[in-house]
Amino acid sequence: MKTFYQELKDRSKKRIALLVDPDGYDNDSLEELIGFINLFPPDLLLVGGSILFKSIEITITALKLGCRLPVFIFPGNVFQLSDRADGILFLSLISGRNPEFLIGNHVLAAPHLSRAGIEVIPTGYMLIENGQSTSVEYLSNTRPIPGDKTDIAVATAMAGEMLGLKALYLEAGSGAAFPVAPAMIQAIRKNISLPLMVGGGIRSAETALELFSAGADLIVVGNAMEKDPGLIQAFCEARDSLNAPAT
C-alpha cells in the first residue's frame, strides 16, 4: 500500500486537501461536513490550527470514523500531536528565522512521532505576505516573505529542497486577504522538483484552478468550508476537470 507521500510525488495528478480547525466546528457542523466529504471526497484531510481550545484527537477520531480518507496533523504547535492520525506534515518554517519553528519544536515532537509510527512528511513551510497580519506570523514571531519578492521565495524554496525536505507548503495564512500570487508559484515550480502545496485565501474553485495552472500540486482549503461546506463540491470538480484523461 502506497504512503500518501508516494502518491503525492506523482505530480501528474492535482489534489485537494481540506484543513479542519477543531475550533471551527461543533458536533452538528462537523457531522454535516463529513456528509459533504463522503459525497465529494478530497484527497487529504488536515487537522490543526494556530491555537486550539478543543481537543485535536476528538476531531481526528470523528473524521476517521466518518470518512475513508487519510487524516494528517497540520500542527500549529508541539502540543498538536496524536497517535490516532495517519500522518503529519512535519512543518519547518523556513521562511522565518525563529529556531523553535525551524528545529526546536521538532526535537520535542520526534520521540512521540517515533513511538506513534505515523507517516511523517518533512515539509518546508513558507509564509507569504498577503496584505494583513496572520496568526502564524504573530505566534511564530517571524516575518512573511513579501508578496513581491519572488526571488527570495524561489531561493528559500531551493534551499529547502537542498536541505532534504520532501515537500513545500506556501502559506498565505488562515483567512488571508488574497492567496499566494500565481507568478510566485510559477517561479518556484520552475526551480524545484518537490511536491508543492499552496494554502490560504483560496475561496473559489476558479482561484484553485488558477493556482493549479501556475504549478501547485495540492491546494489546501479551510476557512471557506467553515462558512459553506458545500463548496467542497466545486473544489473537487475543479480538481477532477484537470485530472480527467485526455480524449
- What residues does each domain of the chain span? 14-240
Distance CA 103, CA 111 (A): 14
Give residues with Cβ within 8 angstroms of 184, minimum separation 6. Answer: 128, 147, 150, 153, 170
What percent of the chain shows pLDDT beyond 90?
91
pLDDT 10s digits, 60-79: 999 999 999 999 999 999 99
In the predicted structure, residue 237 carries a pLDDT above the cut 90: yes
> Class assignment of domain 14-240?
alpha beta
Q: What are phi and psi of 220, to 5 degrees?
A: -110, 125
Give residues with Cβ within 8 angstroms of 75, minimum separation 6. Answer: 48, 81, 88, 89, 91, 109
Distance CA 202, CA 211 (A): 9
3-state secondary structure of 205: helix
pTM: 0.97
Residue 247: predicted pLDDT: 61
